[in-house]
Structure 1
């Protein structure tokens, strides 16, 4: 399992519009091949910053399959226009062996 964390800075004054667009497009992401969870958080101190956390079965599901899919392209069309700059995206793997199914 891989957890994607994307830090999103939204252009000033467009936060409500971004949240509405994300709600409308969330199912495109949630139903994607390999997607296991989707959470969006708003920074409590810097209100134009968000954390998008997405669980993926495999890194390739996020980096290859989703962007190439129709749903991935439609998701990007819904949200990309709100970003003040390029999102910072990182991928994390669990260090808990039980999560990875190891004995």
Structure 2
């Protein structure tokens, strides 16, 4: 499994509209083969900045299956208008993980 990482700088003042559009777009990506889940985090210091983390089976599931699939055009029409600059997307694999449990 891999994790897609995208730092999303949205146009200031459009955060609420972006979050609404992302709620609709989430349905598109979650139906894609190889998708395992996502997390959209909002920056506390810069409220118009978001971190998108998406878990996929593989890079190919993201770049070929989703980006070249039938839902991507709708995804881009919903979301790409909010970005300035356009985000750079990177893929990561686990090198080390830990978890803590509270007793």
Same fold by TM (over 0.5)?
Answer: yes
Structure 2 counterpart SS, 1:80: helix
CA distance in 1 between counterparts of 2:25 and 2:89 reads 19
CA distance in 2 between counterparts of 1:94 and 1:31 reads 24
Q: What does residue 87 of structure 2 align with?
A: 87
Runs of 4+ in 1 over 6 A off after TM superposition: none
Return 5+ residue gaps in structure 2 as ranges: 97-103
Q: What does residue 99 of structure 2 align with?
A: none
CA distance in 2 between counterparts of 1:81 and 1:17 reads 11
Asked whether 1:63 is paired with 2:63, we answer yes
Asked whether 1:12 is paired with 2:12, we answer yes
Aligned-residue offset at 1:42:
0.4
Q: What does residue 101 of structure 1 align with?
A: none
Conservation of the 8 A alpha-carbon contact between 1:29 and 1:38: no
Return 5+ residue gaps in structure 1 as ranges: 97-103
Alignment TM-score, normalising by the size of structure 2:
0.88
